[in-house]
Structure 1
Amino acid sequence: MVDIDFHHPLFLHPSDTPGTILISHRLTGVENYSVWSRLLRIALLAKNKLGFVDGDCRRSTYPDSLRAQWDRCNAFVLSWILNTMSPDLSTGLVFASDSAAVWTDLKDHFSKVDGSRIFFLHQSIAHLTQGDATVSSYFTQLKLLWDEYTALVPFFTCDCEVAQQNSSHLHQQRLFQFLMGLNETYAAVRSQILLMQPLPSVNRAYSMIVQEEAQQSLSSVLPHASEPIALLSTASGNRKKFNGTCDFCKVKGHKKESCYRLIGLPPDFKFNRKKASPAALTVSFDDSLLNSQSAPVFAPQQYSELLELLNKTRTVPAPAVNCAGSLQWQDEGDW
């Protein structure tokens, strides 16, 4: 028997079995034949068995000593093809004996490279949007449509200037198609990409959009730092908007719990009016308690005398009060 090394197309690895499923994608009909054939060709190339389906590895090209080995390899390839087809399609090929003939027959049945298929791909690419999908899932679907279109209508490239311009135009078109289908949450980063000179590749734009998606996801789960400040401002505003009357002194603008006639004067107390009627003086006194910023400190005895003086002014006729002039505290100015 002739020795066969692992580079030879007729070599079979010990791990190769007829029941091996080379690809997870199953052929179901015309709608997925292009993708299925592309994936299976890649898998057969990795196994060094692509020549069995494209006609390069024929039985007649080998000597009699290797034809039995060719039959074994052909049976393996035929089994791998049937394993990746739907049961309805594979049933009609169980009596086939040549893997190349089966491959050609499938191509004749399902490879429909006509205007309707190309139109469908154009329409799918133009109307594909991200929606509820992630950026990665959306880009994968779009790239799958691009690859199928390229397989059906290949672009021939060379080193000439015209070919380079066509290739540049194709890449730019795919960049615009990708950006148009994104959700409006990526409008800012999309504008930044379009302002770049030169325009980035579609893969580079995809990387930038994925980074933006990660930042938006992180921002949505972090607590907002402004919430405690907003709550504090709201609470402060509620205190300033109190329009009720104190239950103790019967003066508007503060509650009994904050009445200085009960809790005492603050260290920064200062009167802010010189002359007033007794009623206005009482209001001015309470306003001064609430709005003062800096003033001398009163002792408890001084505070009691001040309250007693204010109570007496309520019984004195208005002219007597007006003649008395401004009230003055020793060495501290008017109050």
Structure 2
Amino acid sequence: MNRSASPNGTNSRNPSPNGANSRNPSTNSTLDLHSPYYLHPCENPIISIVNVTLTASNYHSWSRNMRVALKYKNKLQFIDGTLTKPEETDSNFLAWEKCNTYAVAWLNLSLSSEISQSVIWNENAYDMWNDLKHRYHQGDIFRIVDLEEEMYTAKQGELSITAYFTKLRIIWEELKTFLPIPSCVCGVECTCDLGVMRKYRKQRQLVRLLRSLNEEYGTVRSQIILMAPLPDVNAVFGMLTQQERQFHSLDNGEPRALISSSDLIENEKHFQHQNANGYRGRGHSSRGRDGRGGRGPLKLCSFCHKTGHLVDTCYKKYGPPLHMRQPQKAFNYATTSPGVKIDKSSEALLQLSTQKRECKTSTFSLSQEQKDTLIALIQQDNSSQIGHVIN
């Protein structure tokens, strides 16, 4: 007797359609790495898969991040409606229930506390996604106007090039989400107007970036605008970051080293020219201390372009030190002290000295009459002094 045969002639080891093994296809789908029902052993429904929390004003950035994360986990079909809930008798029902629960948990973890309370009883990921979309995706026209105003009024200010470019890039990407341009299917050479529309959009973005920069970038901005054709926005960003690094190097004192190097090279040429002409000056001897030629590199001032000192100690720029300055001419005590009588000869001498001080560079000459008067006053003063001594 064949024990494997049933009274009806069928093999008793084959599962019946309504038996416990009728859901074996579900087991196969959960093990398939490419199946939406597959869950990696490391998947955890209590760990958020995005770092953006949905609020009343950031639906578009949140939805984009969530779609990317679910697409990476091959669970996007649970929110876009392409994988509907199967019947309870279906072999994939249990697998669908488990994956849907994971998707609902991930959505709840990415919501703010106020929004999460409003969808806490929703157990279907597709229904929850549509509910959030209908609530926070409205008002696209007003949001577009707000984004355009924000873009046209934006200024760099105290932001760095990277921070300011990131700020504008966020606005551009959100506008692209609201006003998308259809994909071109022309191939290598575009024959439709979609490529022209994308070109105009990129040009507007480039001009907006350049016009809102600070005035210190005026030179590089003029150079970029004169380029034909205009470079890509990312290429312009690279040029601006290089200019920004150059500004930082100027602030850190590197230009002084660069100026000193160029000045030293120019001074070395001048020194070689003097040696070729047989000139020997102070510090320019062919032999120096310990047999080493000269006294090292010559100093060259970048302000007055003279050798022997640097700009930090330039007398022409800062003036000589206090101990080298000429003392100011003392005022005549007779002209400043009250109660002191001044004779006529002294008064004439004071006037003459005052005129000389006022006309340092001009030629001063006396007429013959003035000379005679001055000599007579001096002689009269001397005779009066002699008489006083005799008495």
What TM-score does the superposition give when structure 2 sets the normalisation length?
Answer: 0.59
Equivalent in 197, 221, 224 of residue 252 of structure 2: 221
Q: Establish whether residue 171 from structure 1 lines up as the match of residue 253 from structure 2.
A: no
Verify the 8 A CA contact 2:100 2:124 in the aligned structure 1.
Answer: yes
Shift in Å, 1:33:
0.5
3-state DSSP of counterpart to 1:88 = helix
Aligned 1:71-110 pairs, distance under 5 A? 71-110=97-136
Structure-2 separation of matches of 1:244 and 1:93? 89
1:11-58 CA deviation, whole Å, 9 max, x = no partner?
Answer: 0011111112111110011x2111110111111111111110000111
Q: Establish whether residue 28 from structure 1 lines up as the match of residue 59 from structure 2.
A: no
Structure-1 separation of matches of 2:89 and 2:249? 66
Verify the 8 A CA contact 2:86 2:96 in the aligned structure 1.
Answer: no
Verify the 8 A CA contact 1:135 1:213 in the aligned structure 2.
Answer: yes
Q: Establish whether residue 230 from structure 1 lines up as the match of residue 256 from structure 2.
A: no
Query: How many residues in Structure 1 have an aligned counterpart in Structure 2?
Result: 244
Q: What residue identity is the alignment partner of 1:238?
A: P
What TM-score does the superposition give when structure 1 sets the normalisation length?
Answer: 0.68
3-state DSSP of counterpart to 2:92 = helix
Structure-1 separation of matches of 2:327 and 2:148? 72
Out of 76-85 and 106-115, give the one that drifted further. Answer: 106-115
Q: Which residue of 1 aligns with 2:159?
A: 133
1:54-87 CA deviation, whole Å, 9 max, x = no partner?
Answer: 0011122897221101101000001111111101
Structure-2 separation of matches of 1:60 and 1:181? 55
1:237 to 1:28, Cα distance in 2 relative to 1, 3 A:
closer
Structure-1 separation of matches of 2:59 and 2:224? 36
Q: Establish whether residue 209 from structure 1 lines up as the match of residue 236 from structure 2.
A: no
Aligned 1:302-313 pairs, distance under 5 A? none
Structure-1 separation of matches of 2:325 and 2:140? 79
Q: Which residue of 2 aligns with 1:199?
A: 230
Show structure 2 runs of 5+ residues with no match. Answer: 1-23, 258-301, 304-308, 329-391
Structure-1 separation of matches of 2:205 and 2:315? 51
Shift in Å, 1:237:
5.1
Q: What residue identity is the alignment partner of 1:64?
A: D
1:143-186 CA deviation, whole Å, 9 max, x = no partner?
Answer: 11111111111111423342221111111011011112211121
Verify the 8 A CA contact 2:70 2:76 in the aligned structure 1.
Answer: yes
Ranked by relative contact order (alpha carbons within 8 Å, sequence separation 6 or more), the top structure is 1
3-state DSSP of counterpart to 2:83 = coil
1:113 to 1:237, Cα distance in 2 relative to 1, 3 A:
closer
Structure-1 separation of matches of 2:52 and 2:65? 8
Shift in Å, 1:241:
7.7
Structure-1 separation of matches of 2:88 and 2:207? 52
Verify the 8 A CA contact 2:54 2:62 in the aligned structure 1.
Answer: yes
Q: What residue identity is the alignment partner of 1:174?
A: Q
Structure-1 separation of matches of 2:246 and 2:88? 61
Verify the 8 A CA contact 1:113 1:152 in the aligned structure 2.
Answer: no
Q: Which residue of 1 aligns with 2:67?
A: 41
Would you identify which runs of 4 or more consecutive aligned residues in structure 1 move more than 6 Å? none
Q: Which residue of 2 aligns with 1:270?
A: none
Verify the 8 A CA contact 2:86 2:92 in the aligned structure 1.
Answer: no
Shift in Å, 1:99:
0.2
Show structure 1 runs of 5+ residues with no match. Answer: 246-335
Q: Establish whether residue 151 from structure 1 lines up as the match of residue 177 from structure 2.
A: yes
